[in-house]
Amino acid sequence: MVLDARDISRALTRISHEILERNKGADDLVLLGIPRRGVPLAQRIAARISAVEGIEVPVGSLDITLYRDDLRMKPARALLPTEIPSGGIDGKVVVLVDDVLFSGRTIRSALDALGDVGRPQAVRLAVLVDRGHRELPIRADFVGKNLPTSLVERVSVRLAETDEIDAVSIDGPPEWSEA
């Protein structure tokens, strides 16, 4: 295990404070989590920001399924909800929140999806883990932990809301067996 529940909590607290510092407060801030695990992370960050600033930060979710460039290469997936807060995103500072940043393709898809939802003043990116290996010129503004990995390794993020435990681990390459 690379990060346990306390490590994740500290990382999210730091990210929350960095967002507040960069935005000079919580005004005009909207957090959009990328399903699955980006949504609970966005909710946790919003709760921390609200505790510091004393105002509720709007949180939503942004499904990117139909914007992915690998749709035809993988099995069909169920659409997940896109929930934009009632105030919308036009003219707001939107922070996209995801669990792992890898190639950058998910975030490119999120930017495409965001363009169909509204026109934010600015878009920032917060990730719990940045593992490198970018294929596109995308970088996170707020990172919980940089985890350099090999291409054959897999970073697994588990959150209490979806997996009953908070943990981040690096799994090795699959075991190959000759049958």
Which of left, alpha, beta for 60 (phi over 0: left; psi -120 to 50: alpha)? Answer: beta
Query: What's this model's pTM, rounded to 2 decimal places?
Result: 0.92
- Residue 75: Cβ within 10 Å count: 5
Residue 92 sits in which domain range?
5-72+81-171
- Whether residue 172 has pLDDT greater than 90: no
**178 inside domain:** no
Q: How confident is the model over 5-58, as pLDDT tens digits?
A: 999 999 999 999 999 999 999 999 999 999 999 999 999 999 999 999 999 999
Q: What is the pLDDT of residue 177?
A: 46
**179 inside domain:** no
Q: What pairing do the DSSP bridges indicate for beta strands 142-146 and 93-101? A: unpaired
- Report whether 97 contacts 38 (CB < 8 A): yes
**27 inside domain:** yes
Q: What is the domain-level CATH number for residue 148?
A: 3.40.50.2020
Q: How confident is the model over 97-125, as pLDDT tens digits?
A: 999 999 999 999 999 999 999 999 999 99
In the chain, the number of structural domains is 1
- Using pLDDT thresholds of 50, 70 and 90, give the confidence band for residue 174: low
